[in-house]
Structures are given as structure tokens and as C-alpha cells.
Amino acid sequence: MRNSLRSHGGLVSHLSILIIATFSTHLLRQVFAIPRTCNLFQGSWVSDNSSKSNNIPLVYDSSQCPFINPLFDCAKHGRPDRGYLRYRWQPSACNLPKFDGKVFLEKLRGKTIVIVGDSISFNQQESLTCLLHAAVGPNSKITTGTMGPYNSNYVTFQEYGVTIAEFYTRFLAQITTEKIGRVLKLHLINDYGNVWKDADVLIFNTGFWWDVNGNQKGYAFLNPS
């Protein structure tokens, strides 16, 4: 799933796996009227050849999305194949409705969504904003910038008053610098929590897989309480 999420350029034609992986099931069902009998998490990636041209992305064209970091734009850097743009997520026992960015924005009108985590979360924010940008069109009024003490990146779709923000952190808990070194305090989220508290929807990436050992560990001691 992680490798798939990093493949920008219109990965999914129906509900994007980034939404399946991060939004609560309750929110998904509310926004897209998905029946409770549909298990969103049991399924597989399938190739979708519904378009006449295999070179046409299913959802959005990365070259037309202003939010993708150039470092993550596969097509821009010359990736020759386009097959990875033609996959969608298919639950085993039901069908998902086609993703409609305008419905998404209307249902969440006036809300702020904050995606919290590492580079995977950064990719997810970019993918979601590109999905929405493709839905509203290039002439829609959109603002971007940073907010808060940690300079969180945000995109606001002004017509709907919807803000999608990304708060980059490798840890959900708080790290403090003390005489003995950097201490990860699992019982504290005070600093980061003050940034998140005004969000209407919080999406946490809890994968934590790449910096648990060695020089990338990020802390010297662990304080569980």
C-alpha cells in the first residue's frame, strides 16, 4: 500500500485508497453513501481499462496539478510506462461509487481537515488536493500557504471553505530535549495537540516503520508515562 500511495498521477478512478486508508469508515459512508455491508478494506487493486487510451489517467493528470512536489512527480521525471495510472481499488464483496470531488467538498463545506504524519501523509495530502483540484477545475479560487507554529502546509478551496492541511511529524507523541538527550514521551501530545485542536477532521498516519533504529531513530530514551 505504501508504494502505491507514492505513485502520483491519477492512481484510482473510484474512491482513492488514500481516502480508504485514512478517513474513518463512518465519514466515508456519510460522504459517499456507502452501505455498511461494504467492507472497504478487503479487496485488491485491479486494472481499469474503461478509457479508450491507456495513457489517460483515471482521476487526474499530475502535470495539471499544482500541488505535487516535483520530487514525487513520476511522469515529469520521465517514467516511461503509464500502467500504474490505470489501477483502482476494488472491494471483494461490493462496488465503490466513483469519486466525486464536488460531492466531497459540498459534504465537508466549511471544514478543516488535518493530515498528521510523515512523508506518506504528505503524499496523501497532495493526492487528495489533486483529486479535488481536478473536480473543481483550474478556474476555481484556491489559496495555499503555511499555518501555525510548525508551518503546516494547507490548501483551501475557497468556494466551499474547505481546507486540507498537512502536519509533518514522525511521532504523534512529544519529544523533549533534556540533559540525558532526546526523550520520546508517549503520554504527552501537548505541543502538537495545540496545533490540531481546531481541526474538524484529523487523519493520523501511525505506520511508523522507517526510523525505529540507528541514526534515524530520532530519540535516545523512551518515557512511557
Banded pLDDT at 158 (limits 50, 70, 90): very high
Find the length of the chain.
225
116 in Cβ contact with 206 (< 8 Å): no
Looking at residue 12, its pLDDT comes to: 33
Asked if pLDDT for residue 9 goes beyond 50, the answer is no
pTM over 0.85: no
DSSP string, 67-117: TS-GGG-TTTTT----GGGGEEEEESSS-PPBP-HHHHHHHTTT-EEEEEE
Give the single-character DSSP code of 140.
S
Looking at residue 100, its pLDDT comes to: 87
Looking at residues 154-182, what average pLDDT do you find?
86
Report the percent of the chain where pLDDT is more than 70. Answer: 72
* Total number of domains in the chain: 1
The pLDDT tens digits of the residues spanning 34-82 come to 778 888 888 998 887 765 555 555 677 777 888 888 887 887 888 888 7
Banded pLDDT at 180 (limits 50, 70, 90): confident
Place of cell 530520532: 218
Q: Extract the runs of DSSP E, i.e. beta strands, from the chain.
A: 43-47, 87-91, 112-117, 142-147, 152-157, 162-168, 174-178, 181-185, 201-204, 221-223
Residue type, 3: N
Looking at residue 57, its pLDDT comes to: 57
Half-sphere exposure in the Cβ direction for 98 (13 Å, CA): 8
Residue 28 belongs to domain spanning: 2-223
Asked if pLDDT for residue 189 goes beyond 50, the answer is yes
The pLDDT tens digits of the residues spanning 128-154 come to 999 999 999 888 999 998 877 666 889
